[in-house]
């Protein structure tokens, strides 16, 4: 069970910062802004890898929370990417941060097939019953 640090200020060359994005590709605050400022994320990227960052959309283009079934699709794309890149370590941030409609109990189970190269917030692990 790999637990993401609460604060991430720098990354090792093999680490990737995983953050919540939106379908407009606008990164204005929180971990999304940090991804732009510190870890090479590119504005306009909705989902996927950019620099040392990986975007998982949580909000639609109007900044409303997406239905959990849609989020699950993007989480599965991320998990496929992480599985295809075992040489990298993925540090998943609290994707529910600032979205009161989601709880870590909602999101944690989506990561049930997480591999050994993925770190997650402790609350996500608890959401999976680990």
Give the per-residue pLDDT at 90: 98
Give the per-residue pLDDT at 128: 75
Number of Cβ within a 10 Å radius of residue 1: 10
Give the per-residue pLDDT at 51: 96
- Please choose, from the candidates 64, 65, 23, 66, the residue with its C-alpha nearest in 3D space to the C-alpha of residue 46: 23
Long-range contacts at 7-13 (CB < 8 A, ≥ 24 apart): 8/34, 8/91, 8/93, 9/38, 10/38, 11/39, 11/52, 11/91, 12/89
120 phi, psi to nearest 5 deg: -140, 160
For the chain, which ranges sit under pLDDT 70?
A: 130
Give the per-residue pLDDT at 104: 78
Whether the CB-CB separation of 42 and 18 falls below 8 Å is answered with: no
CATH class for the domain made up of 15-127: alpha beta
Distance CA 67, CA 130 (A): 25
Give the per-residue pLDDT at 129: 72
Give the per-residue pLDDT at 106: 84
Give the per-residue pLDDT at 107: 87
């Amino acid at each position: 069970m790999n637990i993401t640090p609460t604060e991430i200020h720098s990354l090792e060359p093999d680490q990737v910062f995983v953050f919540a994005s939106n379908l407009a590709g606008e990164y204005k605050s929180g971990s999304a802004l940090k991804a732009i400022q510190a870890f090479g994320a590119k504005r306009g990227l909705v989902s996927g890898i950019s620099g040392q960052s990986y975007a998982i959309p949580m909000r639609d283009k109007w900044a409303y929370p997406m239905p959990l079934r849609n989020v699950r699709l993007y989480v599965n794309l991320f998990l496929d990417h992480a599985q295809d890149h075992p040489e990298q370590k993925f540090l998943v941030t609290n994707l529910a941060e600032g979205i009161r409609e989601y709880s870590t109990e909602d999101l944690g189970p989506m990561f049930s097939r997480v591999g050994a190269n993925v770190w997650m917030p402790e609350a996500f692990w608890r959401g999976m019953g680990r």
